Amino acid sequence: MVGRQAQLEEVLELVRSRRTRLVTLTGPGGVGKTRLALALAAELAADFDGAATVAELAPVRDPMLVVPTIGRSLGLTQLGQADPLEAVVRLVSDHGQLVVLDNVEHLLSAAPEVASLLARCPGLMLIATSRAPLRIAAEQDYPLGPLAVPASPDVTAVAASPAAQVFLARARAVAPRVRLDPDTAPANTESRRNSRCSSRVSRSWLQSRVAAIVR
Ligand SMILES: Nc1ncnc2c1ncn2[C@@H]1O[C@H](COP(=O)(O)OP(=O)(O)OP(=O)(O)O)[C@@H](O)[C@H]1O
Ligand SMILES: [Mg+2]
């Protein structure tokens, strides 16, 4: 992960301080919320004796399925007639458990169920990624801004810029020959300024930019 050490340490401290039960990384699409959440989970897994899971909510359409999806991330497959909230409470209880809720923005009306779950499971810690916070009392909103763009178009400044490094890595996934030199650096700077978000860049836009900087 490039250029997020300060944010990583800040959120780690927040989670470890237990001042909050839910940290929501908020920001626009592609800014790096999921990437940071997964890095946090990797760092924090040992604190929870390895009990760290990811509930992928992007494909979930019904807010009532948020708690069952959390349950599935914990290994609950056969819910049957059981109340999903009760089933998760029984499973987690007061054990230490970290769950990443990835992409919650379209399911914000599940906030009361998430709040109940946290109230019933004292050992549960949640890290959510979302374009907007859930707005529950236990939550700490952590807005994530874009990575730093190059201070100038010269090749050293571009090479040192986290935003350009991520952009170049993404560009190389499409065109492995992309490299940074005095001719391509200004285009790279401009690309990053035009888009804060490499993943949201359409493939054709990325390819056209790459075509401009590939020699
Ligand atoms: N700091 C970083 N270092 C390296 N790669 C990064 C970094 N931040 C983001 N990326 C890469 O940029 C892309 C977009 O990041 P990510 O998926 O985390 O964004 P997001 O904010 O979760 O977007 P969305 O709102 O669409 O879910 C991913 O390919 C990710 O790996
Ligand atoms: Mg994401």
- Asked whether 169 and 141 are in contact (CB, 8 A), the reply is no
What is this structure's pTM?
0.85
Q: How many other CB atoms are there within 10 angstroms of residue 163's CB atom?
A: 25
Cα 198 to ligand 1 centroid, rounded to whole Å? 8
Q: What is the pLDDT of residue 186?
A: 62
Strand 22-26's sheet: what is its strand order?
52-56, 97-102, 124-130, 22-26, 139-143
Q: In this predicted model, what pLDDT tens digit does every residue of 72-109 receive, in sequence order? A: 999 998 877 789 999 999 999 888 999 999 999 999 99
Q: Where are the beta strands (DSSP E) in the chain?
A: 22-26, 52-56, 97-102, 124-130, 139-143
Mutation pick for ligand 1 pocket among 33, 35, 129 (CB with most ligand atoms within 8 Å)? 35
| Ligand lying closest to the C-alpha of residue 33 | 1
Interatomic CA distance for residues 138 and 23, integer angstroms: 9
Q: In this predicted model, what pLDDT tens digit does every residue of 20-79 receive, in sequence order? A: 999 999 999 999 999 999 999 999 999 999 999 999 999 999 999 999 999 999 999 887
Pairing of strands 22-26, 139-143: parallel
Residue 125 bridge partners (DSSP): 98
| Ligand lying closest to the C-alpha of residue 35 | 1
| Domains by residue range for the chain, with CATH | 5-143 (3.40.50.300), 155-213 (no CATH)
Mutation pick for ligand 1 pocket among 166, 167, 202, 206 (CB with most ligand atoms within 8 Å)? 166
